[in-house]
Amino acid sequence: MPGANKSTKTMCGIDKFYVAYFLMHIPITLIIDSCIIIPEEQRFQFQKQFLEFHISSNKDFLLVSLPLWLKVFGLFELFVQLPFFAIGAYMLVKQMKQVYPYMLIYGFNASFTTLVCLVHIFCDYERFGLTTGESYKLAALYIPYLVIPLVMLVDYSIRINKSIKAHIPPTKKNI
């Protein structure tokens, strides 16, 4: 298949983790995150129940107040990231190097948007009636969605640079 690695080696451990992360993220996006842009009256009952449970358990004021910037992030997640979760997982399983730039872009976008959410949590938690401890609990739910994409960003930056270096003929300047 074009673009697949020609070797028969197995997928590396970190890529297996990324595949699992993407596949786990699909139901989270469909059930919870899609509620950012789907009007309440058009949500499935189970979505409403999951969302209510999440908000009441974690005091996630972001999903109650729904600032405009979060709605924009939600649109991007639903229409760009969600398809990429399936496509990216497939490309990783097939070890297609064409996924590298998309992993880099996803890593940047997801870590940046999550960082914005975390800043909002830490700056505004008191305004929404949360204690410091409750803000830490809420942030703990968001932190994996900062750290994992940030690891992807660094990982695929390194892979892309190695790939570029492998295709540049050595000269006195780049040795």
Give the per-residue pLDDT at 175. 59
**54: Cβ–Cβ under 8 A, 6 or more apart, which residues?**
32, 60, 63
| pLDDT, mean over the chain | 94
Domain ranges of the chain: 13-162
> CB of 85 within 8 A of CB of 27?
no
Q: What is the pLDDT of residues 122-166, one digit of tens each?
A: 999 999 999 999 999 999 999 999 999 999 999 999 999 999 988
Span 95-107, average pLDDT? 98
Tokens of 12: 């590396």
Distances (CA, A) of 126 to 59, 123, 131, 132, 168: 12, 8, 7, 8, 54
pLDDT in tens, 2-61: 555 445 578 899 999 999 999 999 999 999 999 999 999 999 999 999 999 999 999 999
SS3 content of the chain, % helix, strand, coil (to 5): 75, 0, 25
pLDDT in tens, 67-100: 999 999 999 999 999 999 999 999 999 999 999 9
pLDDT score recorded for residue 1: 47
Q: What is the pLDDT of residue 173?
A: 67
Which amino acid is present at 37?
I
Q: Tell me, letter by letter, the H, E, C secondary structure of 53-118.
A: HHHHHHCCCHHHHCCHHHHHHHHHHHHHHHHHHHHHHHHHHCCECCHHHHHHHHHHHHHHHHHHHH
